[in-house]
Amino acid sequence: MIFSSPYFLFLYFPAVLLLYYISPLKWRNLVLLVVNLIFYGWGEPVYVLIMFASIAIDYSHGRIVTRCKASGNDRGARMAVASSVVFNLLLLGFFKYYNFIAGSLAAVGAGFLPVIDSLPLPGGSIPFTLPIGISFYTFQTMSYTIDVYRGDARCQKNIITFGTFVTLFPQLIAGPIIKYKDLDDQLEHRDHTVEKFASGVQRFTIGACKKVLLANALGPLWDVYLATPGDRLTTLGAWLGIVAFSLQLYFDFSGYSDMAIGLGRMLGFEFLENFNYPYISKSASEFWRRWHISLGSWFREYLYFPLGGSRVKPPRMVFNLLVVWAATGIWHGASWNFLLWGLYWFVWIGLEKLWLGRVLEKTPAWVCHIYGVVIAVVGWAIFAVEDFSAMGPYLAAMFGFGAGALDGDFLYYLRNYLPILVIAIAAATPLGKTVWHKLPQRARQAAFPMLMLAGLALTTAYLVDGTYNPFLYFRF
């Protein structure tokens, strides 16, 4: 649907910008709150009520924490934080995991929880679906109350300002996950300059090109191999398919992150980066310092470090990693493959922290790069193939236990997709940026506007004519 694509932003955002900039400065947060809620309500209007509940609960709990700390009632402050965390986790757990848990119990003969098809409302009912962006905004609001208790963020007394933070639509549905303390000052005072606005337009255009011209172009190749029966998968074919998915996912998600950062700049905000060329990593640990940076940072700060982090004895550190990576897997979706994917990363990162990391430090860099890429790509096979009956054959084919090494289909798809694969692989590394900065400054100044216009024109043309436009992180 239109909401799940950049097409919606191309239609909606110019009107938002016009309304935002003609409004007086003191009204701009209110304007943003209103347009944020309209944007969110476009997907399923009734779920705006959940957004209101999240805003009200965490706003009020932030005020309670502040009053308790001011009066020396630390126990009351801690109880308020716990209450906020429990509310957010219950909200996320019910909508994201209830049916998964009910279905899993029914599968083992303990079906005492009914599967919910619709939610009853006074005026009828609505389908039981996942509220858009709930995994992102519940983490954001949770971090607010915790940071207020820690003294890392000040309590926000203006509910309009707080609501603007929770609903900020550029990053609402796909991140980056914004912590309140990183946006606190900008919510009150932010710069609106021509240079910042132009930078935002450029970043938005780059993100749209990554999503529409690269991710969407690679998606059909992965769809072909995902639909291929396990007994027909060849080794090279399976690798070709999962490499296509790995690149598609990167350009889909990093493209949306770039668009969010660009839209934020046009509104005067500066969001933190969410990706840093993850496929050049030389270890599993480095990959997760470069991939979905805001999620990794959130789990480190609010789960891993409170558990004790790495400054504990090895058995405890392993337990801490197990908890964090199980949670990371489950955060991505209500399916057993996501939990398995999280545990897969737990194994590799745990091994690196215990002894493998020291081995990698003495290993040639090119070997480490191959190791890092292979670990990531195999992990994406677990992530992408949700059906366990298909996952085993797919992984088996990748490691030589399929229908041979290659076939005519592989050669056909490789020949047809080779140009876009080469472009995508190069674009997933700093190669283009390095070459660009080696060009004379005058040449860059002349070429850059034309490249941006060409990218925007191609992206718009594709969206108008194309029908294939999946949003891989929409369900999270």
- Out of 90-99, 108-117, 227-236, the most confident range is 227-236
Over range 24-39, report the average pLDDT.
Answer: 88
Q: Of 140, 130, 177, 146, nearest to 162 (Cα)?
A: 140
The half-sphere exposure of 346 on its side-chain side, counting CA atoms within 13 A, is 21
Task: Grade residue 468 by pLDDT with cuts at 50, 70 and 90.
Answer: low
Task: Grade residue 292 by pLDDT with cuts at 50, 70 and 90.
Answer: very high
119 pLDDT more than 80: no
Over range 402-416, report the average pLDDT.
Answer: 91
Over range 83-93, report the average pLDDT.
Answer: 92
1 pLDDT more than 80: no
Over range 191-207, report the average pLDDT.
Answer: 92
The reply to whether the predicted model has a pTM over 0.75 is yes
* Per-residue confidence (pLDDT) for residue 6, from 0 to 100: 47
Over range 153-157, report the average pLDDT.
Answer: 91
Contact 287, 372 (CB under 8 A): yes
pLDDT tens digit sequence for 327-385: 999 999 888 999 999 999 999 999 999 999 999 999 999 999 999 999 999 999 999 99
As a whole number, the mean pLDDT across the chain is: 88
Partnered with residue 125 across adjacent β-strands are: 120
Residue 192 annotated to the active site: no
| Catalytic hit among 189, 192, 292, 332 | 332
Task: Grade residue 3 by pLDDT with cuts at 50, 70 and 90.
Answer: very low
* Per-residue confidence (pLDDT) for residue 4, from 0 to 100: 44
| Residue 7 to residue 345: CA distance in whole angstroms | 34
pLDDT tens digit sequence for 124-154: 667 777 888 888 888 888 899 999 999 999 9
pLDDT tens digit sequence for 49-79: 888 899 999 999 999 999 999 999 999 999 9
| Residue 309 to residue 74: CA distance in whole angstroms | 24
DSSP 86-153: HHHHHHHHHHHHHHHHHHHHHHTT---SPPPSEEEETTEEEE--PPTTHHHHHHHHHHHHHHHHHTSS
Contact 165, 185 (CB under 8 A): no
Q: Residue 291 carries which DSSP code?
A: S
SS3 460: helix
Tokens of 263: 């839209």
187 CB-near residues (< 8 Å, 6+ apart): 29, 156, 161, 164, 165
* Per-residue confidence (pLDDT) for residue 7, from 0 to 100: 52
